[in-house]
Structure 1
Amino acid sequence: MNRAAGEDWRGARIGVLGGTFDPPHRGHVRMAAAAREVLGLDRVFFSPAPHPPHKRDEPLSAWTHRRAMTLAAIQGEDGLALTGIELDSAPSYTVDLLRAASARTGADLYFIMGADSLADLAAWHQPREILGLCTLVVFPRDGRPVRVPVDGPAALVVFESPRVDVSSSAVRAALAEGTAPGDALPAAVSAYIEHNRLYRRC
């Protein structure tokens, strides 16, 4: 089945933001919107990973919930879209996501990430191939220095803002304790979580 049927991959510059999105928060949306505006991206696709390899032993919300929350997070945001091209890929490696995106568009690809993820890039599957498939767009996180930890040529764009100081794990922990996570979540995501009783201890 073609999971990307009906998705509009046309354009000269396409952004990709992959992640678990459990749940998606305002930091994700702000990064995507800033990258699109500053870099002139035609579109930024959010891709919730169905089978994130680094979280095989961790509890994870169903992909259907994470997809629905991501769609809620970007609803009404100009130029932000959702893709399902990873759904048939297990495990969900970033290099495979970028290959699938490259097969659907002749556009230059921009992979959006936080500095914390960049610091772990050397441990990712086929990191050098990732560098060859896209320009990395990196946002500050927790004061981490921005350095590509993989030998080889890399196209890199570093943003100084918005600084992403919220994490999905912190949001989950707050919700599990019955504490509202402030303004970390888009209102539609908060409503979805409440309606479906996600992240509660019981």
Structure 2
Amino acid sequence: MSIGILGGSFNPAHRGHLEVTRAARHLLSLDRCWWLVSPGNPLKDPEGYAPFEERFAAAEDLTRQFRWLTVSGMEQRLGTRFTVDTMRVLTARFRHARFVWLMGADSLATFHLWRDWQAIAQMVPMAVISRPGEQMAALTSPAARALSRYRIPADEARTLAARKAPAWVYLPVVHNPVSSTEIREKRDP
């Protein structure tokens, strides 16, 4: 079974997350997708977070109608804080699953700041989904340059889940400009 994993704070979950996930599922021919709601992103200020339970419930509400999409609080239960640790647990626990890490282009732009990002790239293939205004920063980032020889063409995206890591693809398919930061800023006076 092929499973796309979109991790994040989902602070809050929104239609842009859903659009990215739906596009990835279709273009990568994934069987299922999981949203891993993080207890907290080590690269972000914890003061700006809604409580985990609130973020998790909102993500579930948004995705309820999609049977192929599971919202998980696995990181909260496992006590993992970093993607590399979570992926080590998942790949050990689900040995027959073919995982693909899903991320927005904005995440690729800062991927080199993630703990053991090279180990993540060695563990699972990755799909990077476009975000308006982020393509240049993503594709010229230190991680993109370091992993450039493992990039596959977008027209081969359907083969990504079957490939051995490292492998990644850039999918210029999502043009939804909504962001969690903008949603939070509109809520706060």
The TM-score normalised by the length of structure 2 is 0.80
Q: Is the 8 A contact 2:14 2:180 kept in 1?
A: yes
Q: Does 1:38 align with 2:27?
A: yes
Return the letter of the residue paired with 1:136. Answer: M
Give the aligned partner of residue 125 of structure 2. 135
Instruction: Give the length in aligned residue pairs.
Output: 166
Give the aligned partner of residue 108 of structure 2. 118
Q: Is the 8 A contact 1:139 1:163 kept in 2?
A: no
Aligned-residue identity in percent:
32
Return the letter of the residue paired with 2:24. Answer: A
Shift of 1:164: 3.5
Gaps of 5+ in 1: 1-10, 178-202
How far apart in 1 are the matches of 2:58 and 2:46? 22
SS in 2 for 1:55: coil
Question: Aligned to 1:160, which of 172, 180, 189?
Answer: 172
Q: Is the 8 A contact 1:52 1:91 kept in 2?
A: no
The Cα RMSD (Å) is 1.8
How far apart in 2 are the matches of 1:57 and 1:130? 23
Shift of 1:85: 1.7
Shift of 1:92: 1.7
Question: Aligned to 2:99, which of 90, 109, 113?
Answer: 109
Return the letter of the residue paired with 2:131. Answer: R
SS in 2 for 1:112: strand
SS in 1 for 2:133: coil
Runs of 4+ in structure 1 deviating by more than 3 angstroms, as ranges, are 88-91
Gaps of 5+ in 2: 151-165
Shift of 1:88: 3.6
Q: Is the 8 A contact 2:5 2:102 kept in 1?
A: yes
Q: Is the 8 A contact 1:139 1:159 kept in 2?
A: yes
Larger radius of gyration between Structure 1 and Structure 2: 1
Give the aligned partner of residue 142 of structure 2. 149
Shift of 1:100: 2.1
Shift of 1:143: 2.3
**Residues 15-94 of structure 1 correspond to what in structure 2 (within 5 A)?**
15-90=4-79, 92-94=81-83
